[in-house]
Structure 1
Amino acid sequence: MQVRLSRRKLLGLGLGLAGLPRGQAPLEPQAVFPLGVASGDPSPDGVVLWTRVAPEAFQPGEPIAVEACESADFLEPQGGLIETGFGPESDYTVRADLDGQLEPGRGYFYRFIYRGVASPIGRTRTLPPPGTMPERLRLGLVTCQEFGSGYYGALAHLAREDLDAILHLGDFIYEYSGDPRYRRERFAGRAFSLPSGSYLAVNLADYRALYRTYRSDPFLQQALAAHPWVFLWDDHEFANDTYWDPATDAPGAPDHPFKNQPERLRKLRLEANQAWSEYVPARVVYDPTASEPHRQISQYRKLAFGDLLELFVTDTRSYRSPHPCGEGGFGQRQFATCSAQTRPTQTMLGAEQYRWLRENLTRSSAKWRGLASAVMFSPLRSGDLTLNTDGWDGYAAERQALLQAWARAGVDNLVVLSGDLHSALAAQVSLTFQPGEPWLGAEFMAPSLTSPGPAETLRRLAFWPGNALLEQANPHLHFFDGDINGYAILEATPEAITYELYWVDKTQNHPGAPKRLARRLRYRPGKGLEALR
């Protein structure tokens, strides 16, 4: 249960909860809050705050308080809650929604207090007031941060950036362990095992352990505490290349040991969703009593950054049809071409989410209309061969229907933000993605933080065609880079969208890991994409 605090109660919060029994040694913040703090889904008058109390420090019935203040001294807190309903049933995680308690367009410091111990201080920011036009908006873009594939020096850099928020485009965790019994440890200190002893997550305890492991990284903690985040999921928060199978009314997971057991997969999806809702600060619809995944959680939503950017956050995994060319591995799920790709019944979003996106984005009056898609929106081909059937290429009729609706509405300010492909790119978005067509907007892909890109993977097989060949085969691409790890920053002004791509050395486990600006591009309606120095 959450109890909203009055300003008077907040002013006395430190005194009210600071006492410890006589003779008891004071607890250290790291002992109480070992995973730090985070904030997510800001609104004009609030934000969702998150922490986890160490089980060793937990005392049943002991309340935890959270307070937010415009100054780091917390002398005059502006908002707060007391949470009493947390414990082992939520894996000791706490989510506090301050919606309605804060002021628009303001920066805030926040902290939790438990048993007289204050957590590390986080920083967050509310959205601009509705009806206003901010001069500038800066969003960090990250995705695909497999724990065993590198270090998080990029996140230490991102924590120091001047940003309004960070958009995580999916694969915050990967469902497999770093157990050396199953895989070679390529980066020292990144090995770990799952409670089940399995290679892949097979129950709630495994998913919770994955989030705890990832969140134990100090650079991830720094970035989570430094800015508000907006999260969407991709496949690895549950299982690789997942989809919804209408034949079994259950998720499909072609690489999971439960793949032919729909009842176990349905239960496992519920458990993966529960762990996500416990460890991710997001303002989503969640029903812990539901026995069907689609009724348990609804993740798609929108955020308005004043009148400058309206961001539509989509779910491209929970409702999608099976892969059109089969589930038999890369030759069917990735590199494949078949007539089923253009079947009108092939859906990426499901009927309800499709209508929501088409209608709301069409009606948006924002200067920029943002579409956050975990998977690549634009085509990627080599001749007649589709190279990314797991992306929107496998659901081409639905993509075309969206583009036609937006073209009829005269949209030229669409900004698609995507991930998943472990690559970076910028692309022209138009009705058929052919040169010379009117632009509806541009797509910008965030590079993977650590996960191996196609160049790294395919070089092991002595088959990497190179970035230039892919650009040549796809003239709508302004550039393609399949050999980069790092992050991107998107800056929006009323005049233009600017995309900055940063390479960061994932082999270096320190906050000053080598970094360089790899690309800087600008998109303006009527002028397209142009490279900047």
Structure 2
Amino acid sequence: MENSSDRRRSDIVGLQARRRFLTLAAMTSVGAFAGVPHAQAAARRVEKISEFPFTLGVASGDPLPTSVVLWTRLAPRPYEVGGGLPPAGAVEVRWDIARDERFRHIERSGLTTASAGFGYSVHVDVRGLEPGRSYWYRFRAEAWSSPVGRTRTAPAAGASVRELRLGLASCQQYDEGYFTAHAHLAREELDAVFFVGDYIYENAIDAQAGERRLPAGNRLPEVFDHELTTLEDYRLRYALARTDPDLRAAHAAHPWVVTWDDHEVENNYAAGVPQDSEDPARFLRRRAAAYRAYWENMPLRPAQYPRGADMRLYRRLHFGRLAQFDILDTRQYRSDQAYGDGWKYPGPESQDVSRTMTGQAQERWLLDGFRASSATWNVIPQQVAFSRRRLTRTGPSRLSMDAWDGYPASRDRVLQGARAAGAGNLIVLSGDSHIHLAMDIKKDFDDPRSPTVGVEILGSSISSGSDGMEQPEDWAELLAANPHWSYYAKRRGYVVITLTPTHARADYRTLAYVTRPGAPVTTGARLVTRAGKPGFEPA
């Protein structure tokens, strides 16, 4: 979420030089291991699980043509530290993946270990599957069986794909509304869901869960009523999110591809720089705890397992010849925000060509990926608004220093790299802003007549911002100030994206309310961009 702040975080010289030491200290503070996350498989076995342990559901993610990640986490009592399991111990978990939801034709099975050291989470990288087909999966621990999940592998490399249907979602603050959007997302026919950040929020949550207004019999315990700083804090917050049945349903229905934004750690942090004055070493310990909890609670492979305060989350997926997905991390490596992290007038500091949103290594990886791409659509799922967003029609306008507008040189390098590589049909997927936006990406945002080089699909929040409104008061002003915008709405919701060899369509789903459950879903806009002809038009 883009909360403004007047602080000026400067003079961070020396922070990067000290980072290796601080990272090692952070690793020690959360008990990180140098090896793969099976280091605790030899822990003493938990003797008996007397309550249903799969309260947090199941999930799958990062589909490859012959592989997918299966996830669950054991927590018989999700509101308790440790989930109601011993602070040290391990549970043997069996997993099955089948061609049918009744498990008559089991494709693969195996045993793995859920250990206390990793929050009793399970990550299984199942290999040897068939490309482009659906599977069903489940877990078992002692006498208990998990809910059944459905997943799907990616099409084969080089395959001609007629259609892909994707969900785009972000920003689900538990205490600002129900996750009803996920119930509708679960019922969509999708190949995958891309979640682009703010899966949890770090704020204190009162007993009635804010806008949810829980009745007296369902009030939350006091353990949630403080800002998150420790590993157990973050683990509990993920558990709280997954107690929402609609979120569990969306995870069980589709494979997810996830990346984070800021609230998985702290609002508007930038690399090793916290939002407010805080000791750098202490913040990196907090970041290490947050990254560790993120990996534990997401369907990610061991390759993404964090090393202290560092975690490589950027990665690339291919769906046949139709689409290449370059999933970015715009938090961990970025330069500190210029002039604070709010909406400010741009100046020499924000326009410094050395400023980066991605860091040099990730930027080089992205541009190399453009050069190697042979896909029809080059899609960049990432966190914050990529395109220009002015607040006024004429004269200088304040811009968001936390989004790509605060890093214009970094944005220009990405666009120039795509153009130089001949990587056409560029689509950027974004979240963070709690609004629906459809935007044409201009070669030069200072010139409205500049060529359009791609489109940006910015999806609204699942619940953050509470109910919102379909046509906000600044609707006409902002559309006039930004002629490259095709749609702007402030309801909660998600986006369904359909990719074909000839066109990409964005269906913006909206909900009238989230402060009570059960809202119906409608389609606020349906827009199309044609292959070889960038720019949105009505479908």
TM-score by structure 1 length? 0.85
User: 5+ unaligned residues in a row in structure 2: which ranges?
Assistant: 1-35, 39-46, 76-82
Counterpart Cα distance in 2 of 1:237 and 1:119: 26
Q: 1:516 aligns with which of 508, 511, 522?
A: 522
SS at match of 1:241: coil
Question: Structure 1 residues 454 and 172 mapped into 2: Cα distance closer, same or farther (>3 Å)?
Answer: same
SS at match of 2:480: helix
User: 5+ unaligned residues in a row in structure 1: which ranges?
Assistant: 4-20, 245-250, 328-332
Hey, what does 1:502 align to over in structure 2? 509
Alignment root-mean-square deviation, CA? 2.5
SS at match of 2:212: coil
Counterpart Cα distance in 2 of 1:96 and 1:167: 20
Question: Structure 1 residues 386 and 407 mapped into 2: Cα distance closer, same or farther (>3 Å)?
Answer: farther
Hey, what does 2:7 align to over in structure 1? none
SS at match of 1:380: coil
Question: Structure 1 residues 284 and 417 mapped into 2: Cα distance closer, same or farther (>3 Å)?
Answer: farther
Hey, what does 2:375 align to over in structure 1? 366
**Residue identity in the other structure for 2:53:** V
SS at match of 2:412: helix
Contact (CA 8 Å) 1:139, 1:164: kept in 2 or not? yes
Q: What pairs with 1:122-137 in structure 2 (closer than 5 Å)?
A: 122-137=149-164
**Residue identity in the other structure for 1:504:** L
**Residue identity in the other structure for 2:505:** T
Contact (CA 8 Å) 1:138, 1:162: kept in 2 or not? yes
1:47-75 Cα offsets, whole Å, 9 max, x none, are: 11111113547794541111100112223
Contact (CA 8 Å) 1:488, 1:502: kept in 2 or not? yes
Q: How many residue pairs were aligned?
A: 479
1:409-443 Cα offsets, whole Å, 9 max, x none, are: 34430011001111111111131134443332111
CA drift of 1:184 comes to: 8.3
Contact (CA 8 Å) 1:284, 1:298: kept in 2 or not? no
Q: Is 1:169 matched up with 2:190? A: no
CA drift of 1:324 comes to: 1.1
Contact (CA 8 Å) 2:325, 2:379: kept in 1 or not? yes
Hey, what does 1:412 align to over in structure 2? 424
Contact (CA 8 Å) 2:492, 2:514: kept in 1 or not? no
**Residue identity in the other structure for 2:123:** R
Q: What pairs with 1:99-110 in structure 2 (closer than 5 Å)?
A: 100-110=127-137
SS at match of 1:529: strand
Q: 2:138 aligns with which of 104, 111, 124?
A: 111
Counterpart Cα distance in 1 of 2:118 and 2:498: 37
CA drift of 1:500 comes to: 0.2
Q: Is 1:142 matched up with 2:169? A: yes
CA drift of 1:118 comes to: 1.6
Higher relative contact order structure (alpha carbons within 8 Å, sequence separation ≥ 6): 2
Q: Is 1:278 matched up with 2:296? A: yes
CA drift of 1:407 comes to: 2.3
Question: Structure 1 residues 120 and 390 mapped into 2: Cα distance closer, same or farther (>3 Å)?
Answer: same
Percent of paired sites with the same residue: 36
Counterpart Cα distance in 2 of 1:232 and 1:425: 20
SS at match of 2:537: strand
Hey, what does 2:97 align to over in structure 1? 68
Counterpart Cα distance in 1 of 2:486 and 2:219: 38
1:279-307 Cα offsets, whole Å, 9 max, x none, are: 0112363455x34x23xx10000110111
Contact (CA 8 Å) 2:170, 2:195: kept in 1 or not? yes
Hey, what does 1:45 align to over in structure 2? 66
1:300-338 Cα offsets, whole Å, 9 max, x none, are: 0011011111000000000011111135xxxxx233322
SS at match of 1:397: helix
Q: Is 1:97 matched up with 2:125? A: yes
Hey, what does 1:243 align to over in structure 2? 270
**Residue identity in the other structure for 2:486:** H
Q: Is 1:309 matched up with 2:318? A: no
**Residue identity in the other structure for 1:65:** R
**Residue identity in the other structure for 2:480:** Q
1:201-246 Cα offsets, whole Å, 9 max, x none, are: 12111111110000110111111101000000000000000102xx
Q: What pairs with 1:22-61 in structure 2 (closer than 5 Å)?
A: 31-54=52-75, 55-56=83-84, 60=89
Q: What pairs with 1:189-228 in structure 2 (closer than 5 Å)?
A: 189=214, 192=220, 195=223, 198=226, 200-228=227-255
Hey, what does 2:284 align to over in structure 1? 266
Question: Structure 1 residues 45 and 432 mapped into 2: Cα distance closer, same or farther (>3 Å)?
Answer: same
